[in-house]
């Protein structure tokens, strides 16, 4: 009974708050650039992000990773500003800046004292259409990206397993290849490749500008018009769908790398908010992920890490905001004396239980409470809010989905969770990778050296 | 930098809530210090209790402080780990406990609605005052720590860092890794943890940080409630001073990675060192300012030798490290190391140019508002001010202190604090490849 009271309190509290919060304002310029503004006057700061609809899932074979490479080259100068100027000007204005590339997007951001927003707009508008791609700069930056790949993937056993796992799990979906690209592709980018990629995707009608902070919406729209309004749009040809074919049976692999601990990754093919036939299926999968791994009281921690002590760590993950269907993943590292196979059985037993039994009211209430609280906590960060809007817009769902999230999660029932477990977490659509540690000491491996020369 | 994984980026990104954040400070009847900042607009609060109980207090039992903090929420009062997790998560609260070299902290992020807030706070209070350290929980968490220690051995970066601290600090309590070693953690017992808890988790050794939408009275009650049942105890003795290494050294660890991790440095400064601002601004120019620093320019922009190249002073209660680091393809290690050392030596010899100093000041002061524009960042700042005993006006005076730095003060401070003849160098990777 006590719980009922608490949950009903939660249900009204943040929603009441969200009604009072500033709404998002949208304006589309004549050249197709979409501008989103969310005022947040808690501190005299502004976050400005430019999102392009291009990422590794847009890339054909042979030039994988080129979106990420181009992201690096975007700091290498324009007609107006030579290489290094961009960062120097932002720094001089007290700004922080960076950029990131994912499967479905490439984004650039600055955070600055609110009055400096024009500085950011001027520079971003300039490099949206006037980038200088020089062979010498590419040559150096290619080395940098190769070092980045070594650091993130090649020398990290878990990351390496993840890369091999995706390559196995997807048959024809472009989610098959890594965001940073395959080594042979990285080594062979030509300036023309980057030029063509830039021409094809970097245009106002393929971008969204998101501004969150201590600004006046009308003034931001006027600034956007002033700096971005004159940019020419491009003809953006639609992407081919590359819809993943149906998987016809479980796939398993072993990844042998120098490491100390064995581990396990499992992934079921599932739809996302973009590809699900009904929205509720994606929200039900999100809740299902929370049942397994929404904190220390969730089933994986409670039953596998503590309870049976089969794992030193265990997790589940699902991203509902992606352009294409993806994987519902489970990851775990066995406890001393336990094998990856015992752990695999235990994880599968968890899935079976979700298919047979309804999740308890207590679990559903806990997840809903966390989601409601999370909606308040995330307002603490302007950057996070901008990120959410930019991502939703860029994968094609529309930023309006951000406002629906809490209520959609609230509507998910125990029956729906069981139903998506039955429909999508099927053995025939499962992929499994085992990391099998190889000795580290006294061993030298230089297979990875070949690509470098 | 230019990350393609956004979660990492959020770390880089530091922001600033109230340009005029007013810190309220008082002591509880038991002598714990309380630091409170009221922020409005969001019905939430961040609460932290910090103890001088980090790994520097491990003695010879390396890993003791970390495991003690890690055990707190696995059983307390009448609740086991499941009950505790359920109590927090059912009200949407986020709880954490952990330790660094200098301190141990217990933190809570919660909504401020009374029913939710009270349940979260009650739970935190019991965790702080009645942890159980049950044998079964202890054995499990110990095994998990040992697994984590094994995993460090597959990371060239982790191995380099462990060797670096050992080279800098010798027998000082900062020398060992805060999660301990396989041998020392294996030898720990739950009785050791209980003793450590009883000695260090006491009111006289505690401080509280509260940032959020609470009244002063609510903040007073919160601090009072959290700590009232802790024994007063006493503050631990001051840590020993750090001795500088007697000479430069170079150590290589062979590892089958594609890159070599390079760390160069020496013991730097304590948080209260009068040279802090000169070294901070100087280091910002040398290697602390991300995409525009001298090291980044020399190593990455001019030569493409590494993805990241940076330097930092990490001030602690006693002299924390000055650290320069990069990672590069194995066969480029000596070239990269040479560029690193030349860049550092030139900076120590000549200091920055006037133009570089002006640009750095503009960046630091122009971005001042972004240093604490979220509750989370603000709580971090206030915690630092409280734990290291900085003046309450620290944030108010920050810009002025930055403006007072000169080329001469930077050059002078670097000469006194960074002697190239004492630099410790660690490389981890494949030699001659």
* Per-residue model confidence as pLDDT tens for chain B (433 residues): 333 333 323 333 333 344 457 899 999 999 999 999 999 889 999 999 999 999 999 999 999 999 999 999 999 999 999 999 999 999 999 999 999 999 999 999 999 999 999 999 999 999 999 999 999 999 999 999 999 999 999 999 999 999 999 999 999 999 999 999 999 999 999 999 999 999 999 999 999 999 999 999 999 999 999 999 999 999 999 999 999 999 999 999 999 999 999 999 999 999 999 999 999 999 999 999 988 999 999 999 999 999 999 999 999 999 999 999 999 999 999 999 999 999 999 999 999 999 999 999 999 999 998 988 999 999 999 999 999 999 999 999 999 999 999 999 999 999 999 999 999 999 999 997 6
| Residue A26 DSSP SS3 | strand
> Domain B2-12+20-227 is of which CATH architecture?
2-Layer Sandwich (3.30)
* B356 closest CA partner among A120, A284, A88, A322: A88
Q: Give the start-to-end residue ranges of the domains of chain B.
A: 2-12+20-227, 249-429
Sequence-distant (6+) residues with CB within 8 A of B393 are none
Cα–Cα–Cα angle for A243, A246, A247, nearest 5°? Answer: 125
Q: Would you call B147 and A45 a contact, using CB atoms and an 8 Å cutoff?
A: no
Cα–Cα distance for residue pair A269/B372, rounded to 1 Å:
41
Q: Which of A296-310, A332-346, A434-448, B278-292 has the lowest mean pLDDT?
A: A434-448
Q: Would you call A98 and B255 a contact, using CB atoms and an 8 Å cutoff?
A: no
Contact A278, A423 (CB under 8 A): no
Average pLDDT over residues A330-335: 98
Q: Would you call A84 and B301 a contact, using CB atoms and an 8 Å cutoff?
A: yes
Q: Would you call B291 and A294 a contact, using CB atoms and an 8 Å cutoff?
A: no
* A217 closest CA partner among A18, A396, A41, A403: A41
| Minimal C-alpha gap between B394 and chain A (Å) | 19
Beta bridge partners of A252: A432
Cβ of A358: how many Cβ atoms within 10 Å? 13
Cα–Cα distance for residue pair A430/A106, rounded to 1 Å:
30
DSSP annotation of A1: -
The whole-angstrom distance between residue A208's C-alpha and the CA centroid of its chain comes to 17
Contact A252, A51 (CB under 8 A): no
**B 333-352 residues inside an 8 A Cβ radius of A:** none
Contact A138, A194 (CB under 8 A): yes
pLDDT at B13: 32
pLDDT at A442: 54
pLDDT at B335: 97
Of the partner residues A84, A306, A336, the one whose CB lies closest to the CB of residue B147: A336
Residue of chain B whose alpha carbon sits nearest to that of A55: B4
For B346-398, write each residue's pLDDT tens digit.
Answer: 999 999 999 999 999 999 999 998 988 999 999 999 999 999 999 999 999 99
Cα–Cα distance for residue pair A313/A298, rounded to 1 Å:
13
Of the partner residues B13, B86, B258, the one whose CB lies closest to the CB of residue A448: B258
| Minimal C-alpha gap between A264 and chain B (Å) | 15
Cα–Cα distance for residue pair A44/A53, rounded to 1 Å:
30
| Minimal C-alpha gap between A140 and chain B (Å) | 5
Chain A hits for B330, Cβ within 8 Å: 449
CA distance to A85, A108, A189, A381, B147, per residue, from A58 (Å): 29, 18, 16, 30, 39
Cα–Cα distance for residue pair B138/B328, rounded to 1 Å:
40
pLDDT at A367: 96
Chain A hits for B308, Cβ within 8 Å: 151
pLDDT at B61: 98
Which residue in B110, B258, B358 has the most chain A C-beta atoms within 10 A of its own C-beta, making it the best mutation to test that interface?
A: B258
For A77-95, write each residue's pLDDT tens digit.
Answer: 999 999 999 999 999 999 9
Q: Would you call B257 and A155 a contact, using CB atoms and an 8 Å cutoff?
A: yes
**B 261-320 residues inside an 8 A Cβ radius of A:** 289-292, 297, 300-308
Q: Is B432 on the interface with A (CB under 8 A)?
A: no
Of the partner residues A91, A306, A444, the one whose CB lies closest to the CB of residue B363: A91
Q: Is B359 on the interface with A (CB under 8 A)?
A: yes
Question: E strands of A282-440, at which residues?
Answer: 311-317, 326-334, 430-438
Q: Would you call A335 and B430 a contact, using CB atoms and an 8 Å cutoff?
A: no
Chain A hits for B143, Cβ within 8 Å: 309, 312, 335-336
Which residue in A1, A96, A386 has the most chain B C-beta atoms within 10 A of its own C-beta, making it the best mutation to test that interface?
A: A96
pLDDT at A75 over 90: yes
pTM for the predicted model, two decimal places:
0.93
Which CATH number does B249-429 carry? 3.30.830.10
Contact B52, B105 (CB under 8 A): no
CA distance to A201, B72, B148, per residue, from A313 (Å): 41, 18, 10
Cα–Cα distance for residue pair B209/B107, rounded to 1 Å:
9
Domain B2-12+20-227 identical in fold to domain B249-429: yes
**B 140-159 residues inside an 8 A Cβ radius of A:** 140, 143-144, 146-148, 150-151, 153-156
Contact A91, B359 (CB under 8 A): yes
Chain A hits for B374, Cβ within 8 Å: 380-381
| Minimal C-alpha gap between B433 and chain A (Å) | 8
For B270-318, write each residue's pLDDT tens digit.
Answer: 999 999 999 999 999 999 998 899 999 999 999 999 999 999 999 999 9
Chain B hits for A305, Cβ within 8 Å: 144
Contact A144, A72 (CB under 8 A): yes
**Is A92 one of the catalytic residues?**
no
Q: Would you call B85 and A96 a contact, using CB atoms and an 8 Å cutoff?
A: no
Cα–Cα–Cα angle for B329, A182, B332, nearest 5°? Answer: 10
DSSP annotation of A450: G
Cα–Cα distance for residue pair A17/B206, rounded to 1 Å:
34
Residue showing tokens 């979660």: B7
* A393 closest CA partner among A185, A107, A199: A107
Which one is catalytic: A59, A71, A329, A363? A71
Of the partner residues A10, A297, A443, the one whose CB lies closest to the CB of residue B86: A297
Of the partner residues B82, B367, B373, the one whose CB lies closest to the CB of residue A95: B367
Which residue in B3, B117, B373, B374 has the most chain A C-beta atoms within 10 A of its own C-beta, making it the best mutation to test that interface?
A: B373
Cα–Cα distance for residue pair B291/B285, rounded to 1 Å:
11
pLDDT at A22: 72
Cα–Cα distance for residue pair A354/A363, rounded to 1 Å:
12
Cβ of B217: how many Cβ atoms within 10 Å? 8
Which residue in A151, A304, A305, A443 has the most chain B C-beta atoms within 10 A of its own C-beta, making it the best mutation to test that interface?
A: A151
């Amino acid at each position: 009974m006590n719980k009922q009271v608490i949950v009903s309190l939660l249900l009204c509290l943040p929603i009441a708050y969200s009604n009072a919060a500033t709404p998002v304002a949208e304006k589309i310029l004549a050249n197709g650039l979409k501008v989103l503004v969310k005022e947040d006057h808690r501190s005299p700061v502004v976050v400005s992000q430019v999102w392009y609809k291009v990422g590794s899932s847009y890339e054909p074979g042979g030039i994988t990773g080129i979106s990420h490479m181009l992201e690096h080259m975007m700091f290498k100068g324009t007609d107006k500003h030579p290489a290094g100027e961009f960062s120097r000007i932002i720094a001089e204005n007290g700004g922080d800046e960076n950029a990131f590339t994912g499967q479905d997007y490439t984004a650039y951001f600055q955070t600055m004292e609110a009055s400096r927003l024009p500085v950011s707009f001027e520079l971003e508008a300039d490099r949206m259409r006037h980038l200088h791609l020089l062979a010498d700069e590419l040559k150096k930056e290619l080395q940098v990206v190769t070092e980045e790949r070594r650091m993130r993937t090649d020398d990290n056993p878990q990351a390496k397993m993840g890369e091999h796992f995706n390559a196995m799990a997807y048959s024809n979906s472009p989610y098959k290849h890594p965001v940073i690209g395959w080594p042979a592709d990285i080594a062979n980018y030509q300036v023309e490749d980057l030029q063509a990629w830039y021409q094809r995707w970097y245009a106002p009608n393929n971008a969204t500008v998101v501004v969150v902070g201590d600004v006046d919406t009308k003034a931001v729209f006027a600034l956007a018009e002033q700096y971005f309004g004159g940019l020419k749009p491009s003809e953006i040809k639609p992407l081919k769908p590359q819809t993943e074919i149906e998987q016809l049976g479980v796939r398993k692999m072993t990844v042998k790398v120098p490491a100390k601990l064995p581990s396990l990754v499992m992934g079921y093919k599932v739809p996302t908010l973009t590809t699900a036939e009904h929205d509720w299926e994606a929200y039900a999968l999100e809740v299902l992920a929370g049942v397994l791994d929404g904190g220390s009281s969730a089933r994986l921690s409670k039953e596998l890490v503590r309870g049976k002590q089969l794992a030193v760590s265990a997790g589940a993950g699902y991203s509902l905001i992606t352009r294409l269907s993806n994987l519902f993943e489970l990851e775990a590292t066995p406890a001393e004396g336990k094998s990856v196979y015992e752990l695999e059985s235990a994880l599968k037993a968890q899935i079976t239980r979700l298919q047979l039994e309804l999740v308890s009211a207590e679990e559903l209430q806990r997840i809903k409470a966390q989601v409601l609280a999370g909606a308040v906590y995330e307002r603490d960060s302007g950057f996070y809010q901008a990120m959410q809007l930019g991502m939703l817009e860029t994968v094609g769902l529309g930023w309006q989905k951000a406002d629906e999230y809490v209520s959609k999660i609230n509507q998910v029932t125990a029956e729906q969770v069981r139903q998506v477990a039955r429909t999508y977490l099927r053995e025939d659509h499962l992929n499994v990778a085992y990391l099998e540690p190889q000795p580290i000491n006294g061993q030298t491996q230089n297979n990875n050296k070949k690509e470098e020369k | 930098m230019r990350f393609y994984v956004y979660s990492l980026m959020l770390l880089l990104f530091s922001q600033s809530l109230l340009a005029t954040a007013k810190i309220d400070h008082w002591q509880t009847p038991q002598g714990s210090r309380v630091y409170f900042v009221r922020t409005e607009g969001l019905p939430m609060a961040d609460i932290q209790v910090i103890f001088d109980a980090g790994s520097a207090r491990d003695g010879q039992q390396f890993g003791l402080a970390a495991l003690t903090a890690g055990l707190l929420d696995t059983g307390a009062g009448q609740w086991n780990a499941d009950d505790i997790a359920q109590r927090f998560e059912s009200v949407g609260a986020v709880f954490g406990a952990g330790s660094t070299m200098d301190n141990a902290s217990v933190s809570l992020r919660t909504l401020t609605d009374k029913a939710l807030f009270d349940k979260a706070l009650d739970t935190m209070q019991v965790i702080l005052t009645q942890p159980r350290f049950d044998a079964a929980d202890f054995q499990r968490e110990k095994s998990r720590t040992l697994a984590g220690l094994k995993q460090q051995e597959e990371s060239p970066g982790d191995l380099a860092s462990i060797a670096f601290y050992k080279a800098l600090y010798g027998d000082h309590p900062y020398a060992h890794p805060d999660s301990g070693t396989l041998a020392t953690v294996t030898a720990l017992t739950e009785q050791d943890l209980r003793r450590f808890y009883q000695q260090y988790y006491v009111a006289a050794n505690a401080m509280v940080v509260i940032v959020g939408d609470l009244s002063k009275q609510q903040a007073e009650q919160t601090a009072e409630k959290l700590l009232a049942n802790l024994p007063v105890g006493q503050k631990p003795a001051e840590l020993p001073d750090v001795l500088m290494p007697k000479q430069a050294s170079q150590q290589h660890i062979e590892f089958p990675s594609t890159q070599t991790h390079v760390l160069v440095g020496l013991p730097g400064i304590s948080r209260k060192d009068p040279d802090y601002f000169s070294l901070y601004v100087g280091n910002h120019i040398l290697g602390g300012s991300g995409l525009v620093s001298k090291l980044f320019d020399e190593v990455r922009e001019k030569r493409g030798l590494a993805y990241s190249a940076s330097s930092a002073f990490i001030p602690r209660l006693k002299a924390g490290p000055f650290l320069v680091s990069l990672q590069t393809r194995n066969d480029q290690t000596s070239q990269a190391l040479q560029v690193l050392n030349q860049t550092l030596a030139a900076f120590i010899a000549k200091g920055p140019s006037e133009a570089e100093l002006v640009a750095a000041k503009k960046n630091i002061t122009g971005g001042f508002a972004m240093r604490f524009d979220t509750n989370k960042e603000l709580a971090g700042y206030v915690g630092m001010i409280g734990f290291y005993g900085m003046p309450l006006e620290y944030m108010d005076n920050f810009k002025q202190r930055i403006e007072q730095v000169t080329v001469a003060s930077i050059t002078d401070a670097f000469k006194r604090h960074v002697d190239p003849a004492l630099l410790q160098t660690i490389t981890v990777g494949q030699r001659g490849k």
